[in-house]
Amino acid sequence: MDFAELQRVLQGRLPDLAAGQRRVAQLVLSDPEGCAFRTIGETARLAEVHESSLVRFAHGLGLSGWPALTALCRERLKEKAQLVGRLEAAGAADDLLGSIAEQDQANIARTLATIDPEHWEQAVTWLAEAPRVHVIGLRKCFSPAYLLGYLLRLVRRDVRQLGTTPGGLAEELRDLEPGDVLVGISIHRYHRDTAAAVEFAARRGLHVIALTDNASSPLARHAGACFYAESGGVTILRSMAGFVSLVQALVTATAVRLGARGRTALRDEEELLLSLDIYVEP
């Protein structure tokens, strides 16, 4: 077992775990760095369980004990050494712009560094070849979801944005068909409608792509391809820089995969914009 397998097992078992065991699983999934270095007592306190519960939790996974689980967390950090530790929050108030720029640069680098190549290849294939693509992201995740939908419509047809009509999500979900793709974007605190749409799409037989923040996300366990974006920062809301870069990279890769079809769609779009005189000359 490696950390990737541990992550898959915990995601699959998460809905059926007792409350205390679920808190332990969520802690491991959302903060493997911390679990790698905290004492068993500190982890038990954070999960609000007894130390013996951590030992039973590890045994239930077929491990020899809690140290074997933390060893998997440390191995993950060794494999991705550039991701060890998180940047501390803002520096001096008089350098707020510099702090924001530094944090966003780090978020982008960490987001792209953690992409699973198999998930990437699967997501690009689905986005290029599926009959229809549906995108949902609400509140703070609306902007990257809108950007994804807008850019995809430039290179392919049948891309639909969900959740934009108040109270209309049920009717929109009714139109989802097996073989379509649904892309869900959400970070903590996860929007109920986005989580429900992702779960419904998975049950309906759609290909689900999740853009979220960590493996304990309710989107992750229903996704066939999942990407985790770093969103820490010193701004009022969590940083969307990693999500924006991830979205642009996904659509660019999809356009390349589409080849001539993608170039034709872009050319048709440009001709339509010119004919409608959309833009103002400087």
Rg (CA), the chain: 21
Take residue 259 and report the two structure tokens written for it.
Answer: 């080849």
* pLDDT tens by residue, 208-249: 999 999 888 999 989 999 999 988 877 777 889 999 999 999
Do 149 and 211 lie in one domain? The reply is yes
Q: Give Cα 36 distance to the centre of its chain.
A: 22
Is 98 contained in some domain? no
Do 126 and 265 lie in one domain? The reply is yes
Do 142 and 56 lie in one domain? The reply is no
Q: What does the pLDDT read at residue 87?
A: 40
Q: What does the pLDDT read at residue 208?
A: 97
Do 236 and 165 lie in one domain? The reply is yes
Give me the mean pLDDT over the 3-19 stretch: 87
* pLDDT tens by residue, 188-211: 888 999 999 999 999 999 999 999
Take residue 28 and report the two structure tokens written for it.
Answer: 């491991």
Do 141 and 241 lie in one domain? The reply is yes
Count of alpha carbons within 13 angstroms of residue 249, beta-carbon side: 18
129 pLDDT more than 70: yes
Is 99 contained in some domain? no
Q: Structurally, how many domains does the chain consist of?
A: 2
Is 142 contained in some domain? yes
CA 16/CA 18 separation, integer angstroms: 7
Distances (CA, A) of 85 to 72, 88, 216: 16, 9, 19
Do 119 and 251 lie in one domain? The reply is yes
| Count of other CB atoms within 10 angstroms of residue 230 | 26
For residue 34, the enclosing domain spans 3-81
CA 34/CA 43 separation, integer angstroms: 8
Do 119 and 255 lie in one domain? The reply is yes
94 pLDDT more than 70: no
Residue type at position 263: R
Do 177 and 230 lie in one domain? The reply is yes
Run of H or E including 227: strand 225-228
Is 13 contained in some domain? yes
Answer with the one of 43, 64, 81 that is the final residue of a domain.
81
Mean pLDDT of the residues in the chain: 87
Decide which of 246 and 2 is more confident. Answer: 246
**DSSP category for residue 115:** -
Is 94 contained in some domain? no
| pLDDT-based confidence at residue 83 (cuts at 50, 70, 90) | very low
Q: What does the pLDDT read at residue 198?
A: 96
* pLDDT tens by residue, 132-161: 999 999 999 999 999 999 999 999 999 999
Residues 6+ apart with CB under 8 A from 186: 137, 138, 141, 194, 195, 212, 217, 219
Is 96 contained in some domain? no
Do 230 and 115 lie in one domain? The reply is yes
Is 101 contained in some domain? no
* pLDDT tens by residue, 17-42: 999 999 999 989 888 888 888 899 99
